[in-house]
Amino acid sequence: MDTVSLMPMSTLLIRNAHVLVTMDGREIQHGGLYARDGWIENVDLTDDIPAVADEIVDLTGHLVLPGLVNTHHHLYQTLTRAFPGAQDAGLFEWLRTLYPVWARLTPDHVRISTRLGLVELARSGATTIFDHQYLWPNGSRADDQFEGADGLNLRFHVSRGSMSLGESDGGLPPDSVVEDHDAILDDTRRVISAHHDDGRGAVRRVVVAPCSPFTVTAELMRDSAALARDAGVRLHTHLAETEDEVEFCLENFGHRPVAHMETLDWTGSDVWYAHSVHCGDDEVIRMGAAGTGIAHCPTSNMRLASGLAPIGPYLAAGIPVGLGVDGSASNDSSNMLAEARQALLLNRLAVAPGIGEGPQMSARQALELATVGGADVLGRDDIGVLAPGRAADFIAIDLNRVEFAGALHDPVAAAVLCAPGRIDHSWVGGRPLVQYGRVVGVDEESLVERHNMLARDLVG
Ligand SMILES: [Zn+2]
Each residue of 209-254: pLDDT tens digit?
Answer: 999 999 999 999 999 999 999 999 999 999 999 999 999 999 999 9
CB atoms within 10 A of CB 448: 12
CA torsion 111-326-295-171 (nearest 10°) is: -90
Give pLDDT tens digits for 166-204: 999 988 899 999 999 999 999 999 999 999 999 999 999
Ligand 1 centre to CA of 74 (Å) is 6
Mode of pairing for the β-strands spanning 234-239 and 271-275: parallel
- Residues 129, 118: Cα–Cα separation, whole Å: 8
Close Cβ partners of 269 (under 8 Å, ≥ 6 residues apart): 290, 291, 292, 293, 320, 379
369: DSSP letter = I
Ligand 1 centre to CA of 94 (Å) is 12
Give pLDDT tens digits for 78-100: 999 999 989 998 888 889 999 99
**pLDDT score at 460:** 77
Q: Which neighbouring-strand residues pair with 161?
A: 209
Ligand 1 centre to CA of 295 (Å) is 9
Provide the greatest CA pair distance for the chain. Answer: 68
Closest alpha carbon to 437 in 120, 154, 48: 120
CA distances from 330 to 54, 80, 214, 305, 394 (A): 44, 9, 18, 10, 28
- 115 exposed, middle or buried (CB, 10 Å; 0-12, 13-18, 19+)? buried
* Rg over CA atoms, the chain: 21
Ligand 1 centre to CA of 453 (Å) is 25
Ligand 1 centre to CA of 72 (Å) is 6
Ligand 1 centre to CA of 96 (Å) is 15
- Residues 231, 189: Cα–Cα separation, whole Å: 8
Average pLDDT, integer, range 33-39: 97
Ligand 1 centre to CA of 114 (Å) is 15
Ligand 1 centre to CA of 271 (Å) is 15
Ligand 1 centre to CA of 428 (Å) is 26
Is 335 in a helix, a strand, or coil?
Answer: coil
Ligand 1 centre to CA of 55 (Å) is 40
Q: Where are the alpha helices (DSSP H) in 161-216?
A: 181-195
Give pLDDT tens digits for 100-133: 999 999 999 999 999 999 999 999 999 999 999 9
CB atoms within 10 A of CB 191: 22
- Residues 393, 66: Cα–Cα separation, whole Å: 6
Is 189 in a helix, a strand, or coil?
Answer: helix
Q: What angle do CA 51, 52, 54 make, to 5 degrees?
A: 145
Asked whether the predicted pLDDT for residue 429 surpasses 80, the reply is yes
Give pLDDT tens digits for 3-29: 665 555 699 999 999 999 999 999 999
Asked whether the predicted pLDDT for residue 449 surpasses 90, the reply is yes
Ligand 1 centre to CA of 102 (Å) is 14
Q: What angle do CA 215, 139, 452 make, to 5 degrees?
A: 90
- 436 exposed, middle or buried (CB, 10 Å; 0-12, 13-18, 19+)? exposed
Ligand 1 centre to CA of 158 (Å) is 14
- Residues 129, 68: Cα–Cα separation, whole Å: 9
Mode of pairing for the β-strands spanning 234-239 and 204-210: parallel
- Residues 332, 95: Cα–Cα separation, whole Å: 15
- 370 exposed, middle or buried (CB, 10 Å; 0-12, 13-18, 19+)? buried
Give pLDDT tens digits for 143-175: 999 999 999 999 999 999 999 999 999 888 999
What is the H or E stretch that residue 367 is in? helix 363-368
Q: What angle do CA 196, 198, 202 make, to 5 degrees?
A: 85
**pLDDT score at 7:** 52
Average pLDDT, integer, range 272-296: 96
Ligand 1 centre to CA of 267 (Å) is 19
Give the phi and the psi of residue 305 in degrees, each rounded to 5. 55, 45
User: pLDDT band at 329, cuts 50/70/90?
Assistant: confident
Reported as half-sphere exposure (CB side, CA atoms, 13 A), residue 290 has a value of 21
Ligand 1 centre to CA of 377 (Å) is 15
